[in-house]
């Protein structure tokens, strides 16, 4: 990878992915759109998958004691099924339609949360049917465009978990989902040695981001952490809708 604008944007994208694995929500979703300024979205998604997988290892280690087991028992199998569905339907699904759907769901959830703020003050428990549905959607959209964050947040935010538990659950879930994507991606978009070398160069940026993200997450007050989650979901959803409209 040449040390030019492409390298700078790729390094920034890897840093953002690492920050998200460290617990800062949704910020990693900006990686593919950022790289898409200089390459096709398909190339961007393929380049970033190894970065996601490697930074997942750091994220899982950082949050190895902070996660919701009851939610992971629902979300992990559902997410893997979503990856399989994405693999089987990859040639039939419009990226624009999926992008629009993800953005619309995230935006509708945020608006509903804010309009019903008093009515939903009480934390909601984990729900098997909802967990399977949103886990499947998260796995599917993650396979299509690394955009599994909004469906996960739609399901998890009403539970009002401690911030470390929320971040750890997300990190472990998407570590499993990203690992499940490796073989399907290789089958659909075979990796070249040049792509893997480019990804290897970006690993230090991703690992730095993961450590920094965990440090920041543990120091942000719970109320502000969840405000950041909701606002990031809102703005990412707007960005996805704009991308789908282009």
Q: What is the mean pLDDT of each run of 10 residues along the chain (246 residues)?
A: 70 86 75 70 76 87 92 97 90 74 76 65 86 95 81 89 91 93 82 80 89 86 77 78 81
| Contact indicator for 148, 79 with CB cutoff of 8 Å | yes
Alpha-carbon distance of 152 to 137, in angstroms, equals: 8
Cα 211–chain centre separation: 17
Query: What's the confidence (pLDDT) of residue 25?
Result: 66
Residue range(s) defining the domain that contains residue 62: 5-245
| Contact indicator for 152, 139 with CB cutoff of 8 Å | no
Structural domain total, the chain? 1
Give me the torsion for CA of 48, 51, 55, 60, rounded to 10°. 70
Record the tokens describing residue 49, joined without a space. Answer: 């998958």
Query: What's the confidence (pLDDT) of residue 82?
Result: 95
Q: What pTM, to 2 d.p., does this model score?
A: 0.79
Residue 97 CB coordination number (10 Å)? 11
Query: What's the confidence (pLDDT) of residue 83?
Result: 94
Query: What's the confidence (pLDDT) of residue 174?
Result: 92
């Amino acid at each position: 990878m040449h040390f030019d604008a492409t390298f700078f944007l790729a390094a920034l994208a890897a840093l953002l992915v690492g920050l998200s694995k460290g617990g800062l929500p949704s910020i990693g979703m900006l990686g593919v759109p950022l790289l898409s300024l200089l390459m096709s979205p398909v190339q961007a998604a393929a380049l970033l998958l190894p970065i996601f997988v490697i930074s997942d290892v750091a994220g899982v280690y950082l949050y190895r004691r902070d996660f919701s087991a009851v939610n992971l028992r629902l979300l992990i199998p559902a997410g893997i099924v979503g990856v399989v569905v994405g693999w089987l339907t990859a040639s039939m699904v419009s990226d624009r339609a999926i992008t629009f759907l993800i953005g619309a769901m995230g935006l509708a959830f945020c608006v509903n949360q804010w309009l019903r703020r008093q009515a939903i003050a009480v934390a909601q428990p984990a729900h098997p049917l909802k967990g399977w549905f949103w886990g499947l959607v998260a796995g599917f959209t993650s396979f299509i465009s690394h955009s599994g964050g909004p469906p996960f947040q739609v399901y998890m935010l009403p539970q009002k978990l401690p911030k470390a538990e929320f971040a750890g659950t997300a990190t472990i879930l998407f570590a499993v989902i990203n690992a499940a994507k490796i073989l399907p991606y290789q089958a659909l978009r075979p990796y070249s040695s040049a792509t893997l070398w480019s990804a290897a160069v970006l690993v230090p940026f991703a690992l730095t981001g993961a450590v920094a993200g965990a440090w920041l997450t543990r120091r942000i007050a719970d109320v502000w952490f969840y405000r950041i989650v909701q606002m990031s979901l809102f703005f990412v959803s707007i960005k996805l809708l704009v991308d789908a409209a282009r």
